[in-house]
Structure 1
Amino acid sequence: MRRAGRPRGEGPWPWLAAGSLALSLLMLAALLLLLAGRGLGHFWPAPVVLVTLDDGHQLAGQPVREERRRTLEGHWVRERLYRVGNRDLDGEAWRWVEVGRIVAEETPEAWAVIERRRWGELIVRPLALEEAGRRLTEAPLWSAFEARLERGRALAEERDALREEVIAPLARRLAAGHDDAAARERLVAAQARVAELQAAMARDVLVVESAAGERLSVPLAEITAAWRPNAMSPAEKLLAWGSNLWHFLSEGPEAANSAGGVWPAIFGTVLMVLLMSLLVTPFGVLAAVYLHEVAPQGRLTGWVRIAVRNLAGVPSIVYGVFGLGVFVYGLGGRLDAWFFAETLPSPTFGTGGLLWASLTLALLTLPVVIVATEEGLARIPDQQREAALALGATRAEMLRRVVLPMALPAMLTGVILAIARAAGEVAPLMLVGVAKLAPQVPVDGDFPYLHLERKFMHLGYHVFDVGFHGGDVEAALPLVYATALLLVGVILVLNLTAILLRHHLRARHAAPGTR
Structure 2
Amino acid sequence: MSTEMKMEKKSVSEWVRSGDPWVWLNAGAVAISVIMVVGLLLLIAVRGLSHFWPADVVQSTYSLPGETPYTVTAERVESVDVTSAQLREAGINLPDEGDKLLQRTLLKMGNRDVYGADFGWVIDQYISDSQTPEMLFTAERHEWGNLYGYVKSVKENGQVVSETQDITPTDSALATWAAFEKSIERATEIHHEIKEIEKADIGKINYALERIRLEQRRLELNDDLTPEAEADLAAERAIYDAEYKGLQQQLAALYQQINRDTFTVQVMDGTVHEMQVSKIVHAFRPNAMGVVEKMGFYFVKVWDFLSGEPREANTEGGVFPAIFGTVMMVLLMTVLVTPFGVVAAVYLREYATQGLITRIIRIAVNNLAGVPSIVYGVFGLGFFIYFLGSGIDQAFFPEALPSPTFGTGGLMWASITLALLTVPVVIVATEEGLSRIPRNVREGSLALGATKAETLWRVVLPMASPAIMTGVILAVARAAGEVAPLMLVGVVKLAPTLPLDGNYPFIHLDQKFMHLGFHIYDVGFQSPNVEAARPLVYATALLLVMVIALLNFSAVTIRNHLREKYKSLEM
Scaled by the length of structure 1, the TM-score of the pair is 0.96
Question: Map of 1:184-195 to 2, 5 A cutoff?
Answer: 184-195=241-252
Matched, 1:66 2:122: no
- Which amino acid is 2:189 matched to? A
Identify the residue that residue 235 of structure 2 maps to in structure 1.
179
1:305 aligns with 2:362: yes
CA contact (8 A) 1:380 1:511 kept: no
Alpha-carbon contact 2:437-2:570 (below 8 Å) kept: no
1:61 is matched by which residue type in structure 2?
A: A
CA distance change for structure 1 residues 326 and 182 in 2, over 3 Å: closer, same or farther?
closer
In structure 2, C-alpha distance between the alignment counterparts of 1:431 and 1:319, rounded to whole Å: 10
Q: CA deviation at 1:10?
A: 4.5
CA–CA distance in 2 between the matches of 1:166 and 1:103? 55
Instruction: Choose the corresponding residue for 2:475, options 418, 422, 428.
Output: 418
Contact 2:15 / 2:21 at 8 angstroms: preserved in 1?
A: no
One-letter amino acid matched to 1:64: V
For 1:42-61, list aligned pairs within 5 A: 42-54=51-63, 55-61=68-74
Deviation at 1:472, TM superposition (A): 1.1
Change (3 A) 1:412 1:9: farther
Aligned-residue identity in percent: 51
Query: Take 1:172 and 1:491, find their aligned partners in 2: how far apart are those partners?
Result: 34
Q: Classify 1:333/1:184 alpha carbon distance in 2 versus 1 (closer, same or farther; 3 Å).
A: closer
* Equivalent in 159, 168, 193 of residue 194 of structure 2: 159
Among 169, 181, 197, which residue is 2:204 paired with?
A: 169
Contact 1:118/1:222, CA 8 A, preserved across alignment: yes
- 1:362 paired to 2:419: yes
Per the alignment, do residues 513 and 438 of structure 1 end up closer, same or farther by CA in structure 2, a change over 3 Å counting? same
Please say if residues 83 and 95 of structure 1, whose CA atoms lie closer than 8 Å, have aligned partners that are also in contact: yes
Q: CA RMSD in A?
A: 1.8
Partner of 1:115: 140
Partner of 1:21: 30
- Read off the aligned partner of 1:147 and give its amino acid letter: K
**Structure 1: how far apart are the matches of 2:331 and 2:246?**
42
CA distance in 2, matches of 1:317, 1:93: 37
Partner of 2:112: 87
Distance 2:269 2:533 in 1: 26
Q: Is the 8 A contact 2:207 2:503 kept in 1?
A: no
TM value normalised by structure 2: 0.87
Provide the C-alpha distance between the structure 2 equivalents of 1:477 and 1:453, rounded to a whole number of angstroms: 32
Moved more, 299-308 or 357-366: 299-308
1:130-169 superposed matches below 5 A: 130-137=155-162, 140-169=175-204
Question: Aligned-pair distance for 1:6?
Answer: 5.4
Deviations 1:163-187 (Å, cap 9, x if unpaired)?
A: 3343343455456235366655443
Query: Cα deviation per residue 1:200-237 (whole Å; 9 max; x = unaligned)?
Result: 11110110011111211110111111111101111111
Task: Provide the secondary structure at the position in 1 that maps to 2:122.
Answer: strand
1:471 paired to 2:496: no
CA distance in 2, matches of 1:219, 1:242: 27
Q: After TM superposition, give the deviation of residue 381 of structure 1 in Å.
A: 0.8
- d(CA) in 1 for partners of 2:512 and 2:486? 10
Secondary structure at 1:79 match in 2: strand
Asked whether the 8 Å contact 1:406–1:511 carries over to 2, the reply is no
2:49 equivalent in structure 1: 40
- Find the counterpart in structure 1 of residue 407 from structure 2: 350
Indicate the SS of the match to 1:71.
helix
1:11 CA drift (Å): 1.8
Cα pair distance change 1:185/1:327, threshold 3 Å: closer
Q: Aligned with 1:42: secondary structure?
A: helix
Q: Are 2:475 and 1:440 equivalent residues in the alignment? A: no
Q: Report the Cα offset of residue 56 of structure 1.
A: 3.2
Secondary structure, in 3 states, of the residue corresponding to 2:425? helix
When residues 120 and 5 of structure 1 are mapped into structure 2, their CA distance, relative to the original with a 3 A threshold, is closer
Give the aligned partner of residue 219 of structure 2: none
Tell me if the contact between 2:322 and 2:514 (Cα under 8 Å) persists in the aligned partners: yes
- Which whole-Å CA distance do the structure 2 matches of 1:186 and 1:512 have between them? 63
How far apart are the structure 1 equivalents of 2:41 and 2:452? 49
Mark the runs of 5 or more structure 2 residues left unpaired by the alignment: 1-12, 90-98, 164-171, 213-232
CA distance in 1, matches of 2:200, 2:70: 52
SS in 2 for 1:113: strand
1:462 equivalent in alignment to 2:519: yes
Q: Secondary structure at the match of 1:423?
A: helix
In structure 2, C-alpha distance between the alignment counterparts of 1:331 and 1:472, rounded to whole Å: 40
1:383–1:302 CA distance, 2 compared to 1 (3 A): same
Q: How many residues align?
A: 511
SS in 2 for 1:118: coil
Q: 1-side partners of 2:57 and 2:256: how far apart? A: 33
CA spacing shift, 1:384–1:6, aligned 2, 3 Å? farther
Contact kept, 8 Å, 2:140 with 2:282, in 1: the verdict is: yes
* 3-state SS of 2:69 partner: coil
Separation in structure 2 between the aligned mates of residue 505 and residue 275 of structure 1, nearest angstrom: 22
Q: Deviations over 1:100-139 (max 9, x none)?
A: 1012210001111111122111111111111122212375
Q: For residues 241-299 of structure 1, give each alpha carbon's deviation from its aligned partner in whole angstroms, at most 9, with x where no partner exists.
A: 10000010001110111111100000000000000000000010011111111111112
Q: Is the 8 A contact 2:426 2:472 kept in 1?
A: yes
On the 8 A contact 1:460/1:487 being kept in 2, the answer is yes
**Gaps (5+ residues) in structure 1?**
none
Structure 1 match to 2:153:
128
Aligned pair in 2 of structure 1 residues 52, 6: CA closer, same or farther (>3 Å)? closer
Q: Which residue of structure 2 aligns with residue 242 of structure 1?
A: 299
Q: 1:266 to 1:174 in 2, by over 3 A?
A: closer
Counterpart of 1:493 in structure 2 is 550
Q: Aligned equivalents of 1:223 and 1:354: distance in 2?
A: 34
Contact 2:463-2:569 at 8 Å conserved across structures: no
Shift of 1:79: 0.8
Bigger drift between 179-188 and 497-506 goes to: 179-188
Q: Distance in 2 between matches of 1:90 and 1:263?
A: 31
Tell me the secondary structure at the aligned position of residue 499 of structure 2. Answer: coil
Give the distance between the partners of 1:382 and 1:478, measured in 2 at CA.
Answer: 56
Give me the whole-angstrom Cα distance separating, in 2, the residues matched to 1:171 and 1:497. 38
Provide closer, same or farther for how the CA distance between residues 10 and 170 of structure 1 changes in structure 2, counting only shifts above 3 A: closer
What is residue 284 of structure 1 aligned with on the other side? 341
Question: Distance in 1 between the 2:400 and 2:51 partners?
Answer: 45
Taking the aligned partners of 2:143 and 2:557, their CA distance within structure 1 comes to 45
Deviations 1:334-389 (A, max 9, x none): 00111111222211100000000000000000000000000011111111111111
1:331 and 2:388 correspond: yes
Kept in 2, the 8 Å contact 1:312–1:367? The answer is yes
* 1:492, distance to aligned residue in structure 2 (A): 0.1
